[in-house]
Structure 1
Amino acid sequence: MDISRVLEDNPIITAVKDDNELEAALDSESKVIFVLYGNIINILNISKKISNKNKIGFVHIDLIEGLSNKEIAVKFIKEKTTFQGIVTTKSSLIRIAKEVGLSTVFRIFILDSLSLKNANKHISNDCDAVEILPGVIPKVIKSISAKYKKPIIVGGLVETKEEVLQALRAGASCISTSNQKIWDI
């Protein structure tokens, strides 16, 4: 499977956290499903439901109850399920998955400039794709500011005047940053 082509042809990936969401994803137009739940008892059935609908399934292996962060867990996914690939935050599992013929997505969380710097050290050349979280900061700011009637302080990865203005427009009360270039905006 050419994952680059699959992702290019399918810009919307459904990510599911329970059986109800899985059923909705199976009925959606999306061809790619990221499974973010399950256990060693039900994961085979989940994978079969996806493949029976001719969809491409990736399992976030770190989130499956009863599986460890070891080579045997990756081999289990390859040999006992119909998943096409894995999602993981563990670079060691990426290498193993590639060896057994699974496609791989390396998931990283970018919380601030330090985590961005550290992410660059951990992104493996072996992975097929990188998933970066959070994906859309202004949307997250807007959601949180609407939910909580308290000052919202935004920090991390804010590097330009425009980014400061976007955050403020989205509902941030202020910006917290170590970037001295924007301290005097």
Structure 2
Amino acid sequence: MHSAHEDLLAENPVIASVNDEDGLRKVLESSCRVVFLQYGSVLDLPDVVRRIKDTGRTVLVNVDLIEGFSSKDVVVRYVREKTAADGVLSSKGPLVRAAREAGLIATHRFFLIDSLSYRNLAAQVSRSKADWVEILPGCMPRVIGWVVEDIDVPLIAGGLVCDRDDVFAALKAGAAAIASSNTDVWEM
């Protein structure tokens, strides 16, 4: 039986990664229903999230990239209490675990740069209790297949997913969804 979070990815296999105001404007005109918000500051975050939520989209905030945030659990509390965000992305396991405990969609991001980072991934996911895992770069079908075999949560391929071939290769390798800032990919 699929969870609601898994169903959300199944229904929306292309996630819009929004890195600036131009991306925000474009995502609001797009058909993408799930957004990874990856810019802003503690001052404008509630307003930016509200603008996206007012269009019926699901929003996850990359707390590692918001100006004025720290690596402390209070960041998750802020997102939960002061914004309408649905979830959090972070490369920091304790923040992912705090998001899950706060009832937010918790996405653990991993930058797979070598075999050591790959070998440590499954244990870190187990500790963080993530709902979703995002690996970067997402244009590595062979590695996507390995990771899917090692974890029990949906995998999102992000970073350097640039065109239709990358999207289909990632999905064929077992990714539940892809995340891209490329607006052409959003409309696939």
The two structures share one fold, judged by TM-score above 0.5:
yes
Aligned counterpart for 2:108 among listed residues 106, 109, 118:
106
SS in 1 for 2:126: coil
State the distance in 1 between where 2:6 and 2:126 align.
Answer: 16
2:143 aligned with 1:130: no
Contact preservation (8 Å) 1:94, 1:127? yes
Secondary structure of the equivalent of 1:121? helix
The partner residue of 2:15 within 2, 7, 13 is 13
Counterpart CA distance in 2 for 1:120 and 1:23 is 36
Q: CA deviation at 1:122?
A: 1.4
Q: Which has the larger radius of gyration?
A: 1
Contact 1:85 1:103 in 2 (8 A): yes
- Over the aligned positions, Cα root-mean-square deviation in angstroms equals 2.1
State the number of aligned residues. Answer: 142
Q: What residue is the counterpart of 2:69 in the other structure?
A: 67
Between the aligned partners of 2:121 and 2:111, the Cα distance in structure 1 is 8
Indicate if the aligned counterparts of 1:57 and 1:84 stay in contact, CA closer than 8 A.
yes
Assess if the C-alpha contact under 8 Å between 1:108 and 1:131 holds in 2: yes
Q: Which residue identity lines up with residue 137 of structure 2 in the other structure? A: P
Secondary structure of 1:77's counterpart equals helix
TM-score by length of 1: 0.72
TM-score (norm 2): 0.71
Q: Which has the higher contact order (CA 8 A, sep 6+)?
A: 2
Pairwise CA distance, 1:26: 1.3
Q: Is 2:120 the counterpart of 1:115?
A: no
Identity %: 35
- Point out where structure 1 has 5 or more consecutive residues left out of the alignment: 143-185
Counterpart residue identity of residue 77, structure 1:
V
Q: Distance in 2 between matches of 1:120 and 1:132?
A: 12
Unaligned runs of 5+ in 2: 142-158, 163-188
Contact in 2 for aligned 1:91/1:124 (Cα 8 Å): no
CA distance in 2, matches of 1:61, 1:35: 9
**Residue 53 of structure 2 corresponds to residue 57 of structure 1:** no
Match among 9, 31, 45 for residue 47 of structure 2:
45
